[in-house]
Amino acid sequence: MDVFITVLSAYLLGSIPSAVWIGITYYGIDPREHGSKNAGATNTFRVLGKKPGILVLCIDILKGATAACVPYVLIDDIEQFRDNLITLQIIAAISAVFGHIFPVFARFKGGKGVATSLGVIIGIQPLAALICLAVFLVVFIATKYVSLGAISAAICFPFIVRFVLNENNLWLSIFSVILSLLVIIAHRKNINRLVNGSENKMNLFKKGS
């Protein structure tokens, strides 16, 4: 029962469609109907501007980090699960990212899971999150492709966990691969556009509203 509640709670956290709710409530715009038609932070920057984009980004990261901490809150006897705590965190993390991509509160049409993935990594392995963020920024700043930065960070994540941080936990290694694949699969349309040269570039650091 504790595991079920953990999965459900993390999924519901991930399902909070910050881009949709903020866009409709404050701007009368559903980001899923404009730009890349995606309910994520990048499309919010593109469609609504910098301030709502930053707000959505922060919320999506926060809900991922919070989901990774769900087991600490919901497990009655934490000592009983002490040896399996990382496994429960991983289950919660995957549930949250899945919720972000397929949110029950937004007709299962959500974002691509990048910010929420960063959040869950922060909650489970902060140093890996920092390195992935560095990879993303280097690629993004060099190419102006947000998607390429996200894909590059996702590809690097399992290698960072195993070879840079020397993590030997089997479930953490499996988690890193699953999370990487989720992000890459969610970007399959972007990959096609990158290959044929039609992907949109973006400068999130330019001046604007």
Residue 197 is classified by DSSP as T
The pLDDT value recorded for residue 204 is 59
The pLDDT value recorded for residue 83 is 58
Q: What's the domain range around 114?
A: 2-196
Residue 14 lies in a domain: yes
Whether residue 3 is predicted with pLDDT greater than 90 in this model: the reply is no
pLDDT digits (tens, 9 = 90+) for 26-46: 999 999 999 888 999 999 999
pLDDT digits (tens, 9 = 90+) for 44-101: 999 999 999 999 999 999 999 999 998 888 766 655 655 578 888 999 999 999 999 9
pLDDT digits (tens, 9 = 90+) for 122-135: 999 999 999 999 99
The pLDDT value recorded for residue 75 is 67
Cβ(112)–Cβ(182) below 8 Å? no
Residue 209 lies in a domain: no
Percent helix, strand, coil in the chain, to 5, is 75, 0, 25
Residue 104 lies in a domain: yes
Residue 158 lies in a domain: yes
Q: What is the mean pLDDT of residues 19-25?
A: 96
Distance CA 178, CA 94 (A): 8
Give me the helix-helix angle, 114-124 and 170-186, nearest 10°: 170
C-alpha closest to that of 169 among 179, 155, 158, 180 = 158
The pLDDT value recorded for residue 207 is 57
Residue 208 lies in a domain: no
The pLDDT value recorded for residue 4 is 87
Instruction: For the chain, give the mean pLDDT.
Output: 91
Residue 206 lies in a domain: no
Distance CA 14, CA 60 (A): 8
Number of domains within the chain = 1
Residue 26 lies in a domain: yes
Cβ(121)–Cβ(84) below 8 Å? no
Residue 63 lies in a domain: yes
